Structure 1
C-alpha cells in the first residue's frame, strides 16, 4: 500500500511539525496546531486533559478519537509525545534528497514528530480511501523528555482502547517489547564547614566522604538486565572552605523488579556504611557526617509476551507489508512503560529517527514512509 502514501505530503507534514517549537513544558503551539489538524480529519473527539496542573506545561495531553466504522474490527491506540529536548526553538529543517536534518544549531525534532507525522498521514489515507477500521485513539503527551510527566498524569479514564503502540524509538522495522523499570535517588551528605587554610581539622569534607562511597559503589553494567549510574554531583561553595554539603543524583535500572530493589538497596547501604564508619583526620573533631537518601520509583518495567495481542497485531502487519520486523528489549524508559503500568499493553515501534537529542539528528523519508505503511495496516486490522 506504500504506493498510496503521498511522500511529499508526508515530508511537508513532518517539516511543518518540526518547525513548530515545542520544548518540554512549552507544547502549547503544537497542541493548538494538532487540534486543528485532527479536526480537519474528522475526529469524533479532541480532548485536552487537565494534566498541565501537575506537569507545568502550557497545555494538557491530547486524546483524539476516531470512532469505529466496522464493529468487527478491534480498536487500537497510537501514542507519541509532543515535546522535544533543547535546543528546540526556531528549528529550521534542511532536506538533502530524502534526508532531513536541522540547520545545525538545534535538534531536528524527529523525536517524536516523526511518529506524529506518520499518524497524520495514516489517518489521511483512511479518510481519503474510506477504509473500514475499528476504534482508533491517538494519545499525544507533554513533558515526556523531562520524566514522562504527561503520561504519568494522563486522564486514563477517557481511553476506550485497551492496547496500542508508542511510536518513539530509533532505527526502523523494530518493535520493543521489553524495557527496564527505574529508581531514581538523591543522596545528600552533610559534613562540617571550616576554613580550608586556617583550621581544616575542624571541618568534614562532604566531598571526601562522597568520594569514598562512590569508589565503593558498583556502577555501569551490573548484569545482563541491570545498570546503575551517578549522573549529577554538586557540592562546595569556595576553594577555601571545607565543603559542608554534597548532593549526588543517580539511578538504577533493571528488567527485574527483584534486582532493581537489591541494587538500589546496595547503593544505599554503601553510603550508609561509609558515613557510619567515617573517621575524622583529627581526633579532636568529634562532629559526625550526616546522610539523607531519597529514592523514588521513576517508571515500571515494560514486559510484553511475544504471543500477546499487541505483539501479534504488529507481527501480522509486518508480514502483510513484507517487513522483517525485529522484536527487541531495550535499556531506556518511555511513555510506554507508564501506559503498561496502567494496564494498557503498549509496544514501542521505531520511527527511523537517528542521532536523537543532538544537533546531528536526522530522519530518512523512506523510513517515515515505511512507518506509515506499518501503522496503517495495524490501524485497519
Structure 2
C-alpha cells in the first residue's frame, strides 16, 4: 500500500494548485480544477461510478456500502486540493530519501534549505522510512495532497475488496481551504453524510478534535492629508497612525511568542498613503471569550492611538472565520472515540491533540457535519522544508480502512 499511496502523492504534488485570497471566485484559481479533473477521472477508473467535478471545483464520489446492515452511518472522508500561497507551489520537484538513516536532510535545489533534526525532532522516529521532500525551491504540498492520496488509496482498496464490510462512504475534495473558503459552496444535501473526517493533520497517530476559534479584523484609518511644507499642527499621517497601532501590540500575544493553548493577535497586512491606511489582522483563541478579549484589546489600542489624532477617524470590522469544532464534537463523542480505536487498530498509539489553526472540519462541524481531523503524516507545512513519510501515509490509509470497518461492526 505504501508504494501505491506514494505514487499517487508524487503525481499530485507536481500539479500547481495554490489558492489566492485576492480572487473573488470559487475556486479562487482555475488551476485547482486541474487536480480536480484528474481525481475525478481516477475515481471513475477505479470504479467510483458517481465521481464528478462540480462547477465550484469540488470533487464528490461515493463508495457503496458492502454491509447488509441498514443502520450504518454514512461517513465522509475529505481533504483539500489547494496549497498555501505562503510559498511558491509552482514547479514542485519532489525528492524521495529512501530508507532514511537519520541526520539532517539537505535539499538539492537550494542547498541553504536544510531539514534539521534539531528543529524537527520527529525525524528521529522516521529512521528507515522513505521521506518525500521538495527540492527546497518550493513547498511540497503534503498539506493536503498527502490526505488526498490516502483517501484515493483507501477508495481503491475498498472497491477491490468488497468482502470488507462497511457502510456507504462519501469522498469530498475541496478547494480554497488555505484561504478560509474551503467549504463555502459545499452541498451537504448532495454529500449526504452523517459526519466526516478531514485527513489533514500532521504526526502519525494523531486525532484532533479541537481548533482555534478564528476571526479576521480590518482597521481602516482616514488621516488628514496636507502638503508637508505646510503641515505643522495640521497633518495626521495615516501611515504613522497605522505604525503606532502595530507598535503597541502586546509582544507576548504574537504567533512567534505563543504555543500550546495560547491565542494571538497577528497582523497580516498593512497598506497606506498619507491620507488613508488599512491594517489586516487574524485573531485566534481556543475559547470565544478569549477571542473577544483579544479583539477588545486591539480596539482599545486603536482608540488610544487615535486619541492623539483628533482629526482622523477609523472603522473596526470583525469577520468570523471559523469556530472551535470541539463545541460540536463533544456532543458526538463516539466520532472521535472510534477514530482513536481505528488508529490503535492500524498499529499506532493514538494521541489526541488540538490544532493551532483550523481545517475544513472546523466549518463543516458548525454547518451540521461533525468532522474531527486525522493525521495525514506531513510536517513543516507551508514551507520549502515540508516533508512526509511514505510509511506514515500508509498508516493513514490503514486508519481510514479500520475506521470504516469499525463503524459497520458497531452499528
TM-score range, shorter chain: 0.7 to 0.9
Of 240, 261, 271, the match for 1:234: 271
Of 97, 103, 111, the match for 2:135: 103
How high is the TM-score relative to the length of structure 2?
Answer: 0.80
* Per-residue CA distance 1:31-54 (angstroms, 9 max, x = gap): 11001111112114224344x3xx
Q: Aligned partners of 1:88 and 1:229: how far apart in 2? A: 24
Residues 109-120 of structure 1 correspond to what in structure 2 (within 5 A)? 109-120=141-152
Q: Unmatched 5+ residue regions in structure 1?
A: 53-59, 237-242, 280-286
Does structure 2 conserve the Cα–Cα contact (< 8 Å) formed by 1:321 and 1:373?
A: yes
Does structure 2 conserve the Cα–Cα contact (< 8 Å) formed by 1:118 and 1:368?
A: yes
Residue 262 of structure 1: SS of its match in structure 2? helix
Of 174, 180, 200, the match for 1:141: 174
Corresponding residue number in structure 2 for 1:265? 296
User: Shift of the alpha carbon at 1:222?
Assistant: 11
Instruction: Count matched residues.
Output: 353
Residue 284 of structure 2: SS of its match in structure 1? strand
Within the alignment, does 1:170 sit opposite 2:202 as a pair?
Answer: yes
Q: Aligned partners of 1:200 and 1:8: how far apart in 2? A: 71
Residue 150 of structure 1: SS of its match in structure 2? coil
Which structure 1 residue ranges, 4+ long, deviate > 4 Å from structure 2?
221-225
Q: 1:271 to 1:33 in 2, by over 3 A?
A: same
* Per-residue CA distance 1:71-115 (angstroms, 9 max, x = gap): 424321111001112411232222120111222222111111111
Does structure 1 conserve the Cα–Cα contact (< 8 Å) formed by 2:37 and 2:53?
A: no
* Per-residue CA distance 1:159-194 (angstroms, 9 max, x = gap): 222112101122221111100111101101111122
* Per-residue CA distance 1:131-173 (angstroms, 9 max, x = gap): 22211011100111122x1312211111222112101122221
Q: Unmatched 5+ residue regions in structure 2?
A: 20-28, 99-129, 407-411
Within the alignment, does 1:84 sit opposite 2:116 as a pair?
Answer: no
Does structure 2 conserve the Cα–Cα contact (< 8 Å) formed by 1:194 and 1:200?
A: no
Does structure 2 conserve the Cα–Cα contact (< 8 Å) formed by 1:209 and 1:278?
A: no
Residue 90 of structure 1: SS of its match in structure 2? coil
Corresponding residue number in structure 2 for 1:370? 395
Of 183, 186, 193, the match for 1:154: 186
Deviates more, 1:39-48 or 1:108-117: 39-48
Within the alignment, does 1:65 sit opposite 2:62 as a pair?
Answer: yes
Corresponding residue number in structure 2 for 1:252? 283
* Per-residue CA distance 1:263-303 (angstroms, 9 max, x = gap): 2233223313432x225xxxxxxx71111122110112210
Rg larger in 1 or in 2? 1
Does structure 2 conserve the Cα–Cα contact (< 8 Å) formed by 1:49 and 1:154?
A: no
Residue 168 of structure 1: SS of its match in structure 2? strand
Residues 258-337 of structure 1 correspond to what in structure 2 (within 5 A)? 258-275=289-306, 277-278=307-308, 288-303=311-326, 304-305=329-330, 308-337=333-362
User: Shift of the alpha carbon at 1:198?
Assistant: 5.0
User: Shift of the alpha carbon at 1:200?
Assistant: 4.2
Does structure 1 conserve the Cα–Cα contact (< 8 Å) formed by 2:74 and 2:168?
A: yes
